Amino acid sequence: MQKDLALLMGLQEIDDQLGELERSKIYLPEMITNLENEIRELEKNVTQNDETLHKSQSEQKIVELEIETEKSELDKYQKQMRLIKTNREYDALTAEIDNKKKIIAEKEERVLTLMSTIDECREKMGELKKQLEDIKSRNNEQLNMLRDQASTLQAKIDDKFIKRKVVIKDINKQIVGVYERVRKGKGGIVVVPIRKRACGGCFKQIPPQRIQEIRRGDKIFACDNCGRILIWTDDESN
């Protein structure tokens, strides 16, 4: 019976490792995706900032040309003022001049806004590129490690299943049945040590006589409360 108990502990260790590997199949892809998204998000910010910079620079050139055109027309109207002969012509030309001045002022204000945006983009570009460089350096190292783990994950799982079959083959089938049933129902640890005269799984107190029987190790005992298989260890916390 001691052999079966030892094999059960080995089986439980394998199952715990399998559980961790199966969980890795979920969290590894999530971790990889999160790291990749972090890089992509910064790359997107760099691209958007660069696009805003170039768009603002292009618009600034266009608006400055428009201002020159408007100023040329304004100068033409101002020269015409010397040639007008009627109040009606004067009023019409004055309205045109005022409108041109308004248009020029609005366009000059737009140029100032664009220049401010360009300065901000240039300043931000250096910061964003530094952040991207740092994130890529850090994340790519982690990504390589995680991808390596993911690529060998299924092989590790397959190997554990082979080892599990080998161990189960040498354990009494009835005991295996109890183990499988409890593991399916409770999940996690099935074989638990007695701790301070209580079940190490649910912490229910165990009668002294039963503890002595478990200590002898010549029979498999399960907790009356949770059904977990109980074992005795020489841990001083018992």
Do the Cβ atoms of 171 and 8 come closer than 8 Å? yes
User: In terms of pTM, does the model score above 0.75?
Assistant: no
Q: What is the pLDDT of residues 149-179, one digit of tens each?
A: 999 999 999 999 999 999 999 888 888 888 8
Q: Domains of the chain: which residue ranges?
A: 21-159, 174-231
pLDDT for residue 125: 93
Q: Are strands 191-195 and 198-199 parallel, antiparallel or unpaired?
A: antiparallel
Level-2 CATH architecture, domain 21-159:
Orthogonal Bundle (1.10)
227-236 residues labelled b (16+ CB within 10 A) or e (exposed): bbbbbbeeee
Q: What is the pLDDT of residues 33-53, one digit of tens each?
A: 999 999 999 999 999 999 999
Do the Cβ atoms of 74 and 101 come closer than 8 Å? yes
pLDDT tier at 186 (50, 70, 90 boundaries)? Answer: confident
Residue 56: other Cβ atoms inside 10 A? 19
pLDDT for residue 235: 61
